[in-house]
């Protein structure tokens, strides 16, 4: 994987510290040209990996890059699925069963998989998972997607339910169908490592908050340090700035002291912020 990844939270009104800032960004980036201007700045700064949700507007970003392959040579997408708001809105509009049918129109399979209780057959649930992955991945057809991530909203729910086999289903399907590695986003790296170890998954790719103040790091900084030191996995650090609570150089200097961190994903809404981050990363030999 690349050492520095560019994320998309800012494009879709996600900011964990300020709702006002999130709303302002969402309004600004309603213009797809503004999104592409920022992505072009990231590409010009040497970033070749775009870690993105499966928001419906990402499909337009993919299409634009495919229309000019020479300009975006070497660009890879790291899809992160599912985009939870899309499914939540569908549940509101159509109900639980209707929402699933909306994304997976094979009503026969849906009826079987969602009967509930002991009547649910494991193979039907696995088939449904695979079909939902394919539905989410349709917008990336024709693009390079070497790593496909399962979002923390699902990963951490599965952890709580103890349904670890779903992780294996996800990893097997993205490998078989898309020749990609599976990645997992979580708010609890230590517990996820335990779960993945129980199903025999070796050296997994795990993306989680890693920052010096422990912002959204379940178990605390010390537990994460122990995991980085004692466990075999490929860690990607996100929220390194703790949503603006830590200055960029201070944040990245701390990350640079964790030699086990494989990659850093960051978001920025202006070319100047991207260039500044890349410059600091180069100074600290993070790239």
Specify the higher pLDDT residue, 93 or 183: 183
Tokens 């990645």: give the residue. 183
d(CA 224, CA 228): 6
pLDDT in the model for residue 117: 44
Strands (E), the chain: 4-7, 49-53, 76-81, 147-150, 181-186, 205-209, 234-238, 263-266
Break the chain into its structural domains and give their ranges.
4-83+147-283
Dig out the tokens for 167 from the structure: 């992780």
Q: Is the pLDDT of residue 9 over 50?
A: yes
Coil/strand/helix, residue 135: helix
What is the overall mean pLDDT for the chain? 88
Cβ contact 158:185 at 8 Å: no
Fold exhibited by the domain 4-83+147-283: TIM Barrel (3.20.20)
Give Cα 138 distance to the centre of its chain.
Answer: 17
Which has more pLDDT, 33 or 25? 33
Q: Which residues contact 66 (CB under 8 A, 6 or more apart)?
A: 142, 143
* Residues 59, 11: Cα–Cα separation, whole Å: 13
**φ and ψ of 86, to 5 deg:** -60, -45
Structure token digits, residue 266? 């960051």
Q: What is the pLDDT of residues 159-170, one digit of tens each?
A: 999 999 999 999
Distance separating alpha carbons of residues 85 and 98, to the nearest angstrom: 16
Preceding peptide of 42 cis, ω within 30°? no
Please tell me the least confidently modeled range out of 1-10, 79-88, 220-229: 79-88
**What pTM, to 2 d.p., does this model score?**
0.87
Distance, first Cα to last Cα, the chain: 11
What is the DSSP-derived secondary structure letter of residue 257? T
In the three-class reduction of DSSP (H, G, I as helix; E, B as strand; rest coil), residue 222 is classed as helix
The contacts of residue 259 (CB under 8 Å, 6+ apart) are none
Among 69-73, 121-125, 198-202, the minimum mean pLDDT is found in: 121-125
* Contacts (Cβ under 8 Å, ≥6 apart) of 117: none
- How far is CA 2 from each of CA 78, 168, 282, rounded to the nearest angstrom? 11, 24, 13
Residue 34: partners with Cβ closer than 8 Å, 6 or more residues away: 28
pLDDT band at 118 (very low <50, low <70, confident <90, very high): very low
């Amino acid at each position: 994987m690349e050492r520095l990844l560019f994320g998309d939270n800012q494009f879709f009104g996600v900011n964990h510290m300020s709702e006002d800032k999130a709303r302002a960004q969402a309004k600004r980036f309603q213009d797809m040209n503004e999104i592409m201007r920022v992505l072009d700045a990231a590409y010009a700064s040497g970033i070749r990996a775009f870690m993105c949700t499966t928001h419906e507007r990402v499909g337009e970003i993919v299409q634009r890059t495919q229309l000019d392959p020479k300009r975006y040579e070497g660009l890879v997408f790291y899809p992160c699925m599912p985009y939870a708001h899309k499914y939540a809105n569908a549940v509101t509009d159509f109900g639980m069963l209707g929402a699933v049918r909306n994304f997976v129109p094979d009503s026969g399979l849906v009826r079987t998989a969602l009967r509930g209780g002991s009547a649910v057959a494991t193979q039907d649930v696995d088939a449904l998972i695979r079909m939902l992955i394919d539905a989410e991945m349709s917008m990336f057809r024709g693009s390079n997607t070497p790593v496909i991530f399962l979002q923390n909203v699902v990963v951490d729910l599965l952890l709580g339910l103890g349904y670890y086999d779903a992780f294996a289903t996800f990893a097997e399907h993205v490998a078989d169908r898309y020749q990609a590695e599976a990645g997992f986003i979580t708010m609890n790296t230590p517990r996820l490592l335990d779960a993945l170890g129980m199903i025999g998954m070796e050296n997994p790719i795990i993306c989680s908050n890693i920052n010096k103040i422990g912002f959204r790091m379940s178990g605390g900084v010390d537990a994460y340090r122990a995991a980085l030191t004692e466990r075999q996995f490929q860690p990607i650090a996100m929220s390194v700035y703790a949503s603006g609570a830590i200055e960029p150089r201070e944040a990245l200097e701390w990350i640079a002291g964790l030699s086990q961190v494989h990659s850093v994903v960051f978001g920025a809404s202006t070319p100047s912020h991207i260039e500044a981050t890349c410059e600091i990363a180069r100074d600290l030999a993070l790239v």
